[in-house]
């Protein structure tokens, strides 16, 4: 039913501490339920309303952890802060501040800074030059807990490898700069390149297509 998941899980046996985030944008709740039955617990969604609908449909499943990995519009920060345990796509201080404000009264929200490692203008994410100042802003916010970085890398294999290496170094630097924070998550590698991200130090891979198959056009 999810045949490629077996290949993925076999690869991950060599990396027992790495978390598999199942990226489920465009995938029906019934198929997430199937993935849950096969042991998956962490799900990544890009679109707020789609995610809220699935959360409702799957409310009976214990232990699901929802990660928001999409672009964050400022008018959606309230709902994102309240309905997800992780937000991986923070790329500006304003969004961090709004999420922090909305999270008051709840356990801290685990967050990653989204980094545009290859410097591609078509993609979101903060540049490496702005990473430290954004991290400094986030660690002052009491309702957010900075856990690490989410990488966007270039598609060509050699470029992706260079970007993974850049990200591993940035992650190490972040840990050294903020020794009191529990910075433990380097989210990098997707369906096409997770096998190369793993030996480069990924602690989480974000995989959609290689679990669920191609997404239909209308749902992106
Ligand atoms: C869609 C998406 C993924 C998963 O991509 P696949 O190629 O389907 O594995 C990973 N990360 C982000 C941020 C995404 O938007």
- Position 1 scores a pLDDT of 66
Which residue has 């998550």 as its token pair?
Answer: 185
Q: What is the mean pLDDT of residues 133-147?
A: 98
Residue identifier of the C-alpha nearest atom 7 of ligand 1: 191
Q: What is the mean pLDDT of residues 152-181?
A: 97
* Count of domains for the chain: 1
Pocket probe for ligand 1: among 19, 69, 124, the residue whose CB has the most ligand atoms within 8 Å is: 69
Q: Are 168 and 201 in contact (CB under 8 A)?
A: yes
Which residue has 């529990």 as its token pair?
Answer: 182
Tokens of residue 89, six digits: 């796509």
Decide whether any atom of ligand 1 lies within 6 Å of the 191 Cβ: yes
**CA–CA separation, 155 and 127 (whole Å):** 17
Per-residue pLDDT at 218 exceeds 70: no
Q: What is the mean pLDDT of residues 104-120?
A: 97
For the stretch 28-53, pLDDT in tens is 999 999 999 999 999 999 999 999 99
- Is 59 among the domain residues? no
pLDDT tier for residue 8 given thresholds of 50, 70 and 90: very high
For the stretch 20-31, pLDDT in tens is 999 999 999 999
Tokens of residue 207, six digits: 């995989």
Specify burial of residue 129 (Cβ count, 10 A radius: 0-12, 13-18, 19+).
exposed
DSSP 3-state assignment of 149? strand
- Is 57 among the domain residues? no
Specify burial of residue 133 (Cβ count, 10 A radius: 0-12, 13-18, 19+).
exposed
Domain holding 114: CATH number? 3.20.20.10
- Is 49 among the domain residues? no
Residue identifier of the C-alpha nearest atom 13 of ligand 1: 69
- Is 174 among the domain residues? yes
- Is 124 among the domain residues? yes
| Structural domain containing residue 146 | 73-206
Q: What is the mean pLDDT of residues 183-195?
A: 97
Pocket probe for ligand 1: among 2, 4, 5, 23, the residue whose CB has the most ligand atoms within 8 Å is: 23
- Is 17 among the domain residues? no
- Is 100 among the domain residues? yes
**CA–CA separation, 89 and 62 (whole Å):** 25
- Is 106 among the domain residues? yes
**CA–CA separation, 67 and 80 (whole Å):** 10
């Amino acid at each position: 039913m999810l045949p490629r998941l077996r290949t993925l899980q076999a690869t991950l046996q060599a990396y027992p501490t790495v978390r598999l985030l199942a990226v489920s944008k465009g995938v029906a709740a019934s198929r997430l339920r199937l993935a849950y039955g096969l042991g998956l617990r962490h799900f990544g969604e890009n679109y707020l309303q789609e995610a809220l609908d699935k959360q409702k449909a799957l409310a009976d499943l214990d232990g699901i952890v929802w990660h928001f990995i999409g672009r964050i519009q400022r008018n959606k920060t309230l709902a994102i802060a309240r309905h997800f345990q992780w937000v991986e796509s923070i790329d500006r201080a304003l969004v961090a501040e709004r999420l922090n404000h909305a999270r008051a009264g709840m356990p801290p929200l685990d967050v990653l800074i989204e980094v545009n490692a290859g410097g591609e203008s078509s993609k979101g994410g903060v540049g490496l030059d702005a990473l430290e100042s954004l991290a400094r802003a986030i660690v002052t916010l009491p309702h957010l807990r900075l856990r690490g970085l989410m990488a966007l890398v270039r598609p060509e294999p050699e470029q992706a490898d260079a970007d993974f290496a850049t990200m591993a170094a940035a992650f190490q630097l972040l840990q050294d700069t903020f020794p009191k924070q529990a910075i433990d998550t380097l989210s990098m590698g997707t369906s096409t390149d997770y096998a190369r991200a793993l030996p480069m130090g990924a602690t989480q891979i974000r995989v959609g297509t290689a679990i669920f198959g191609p997404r239909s056009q209308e749902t992106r």
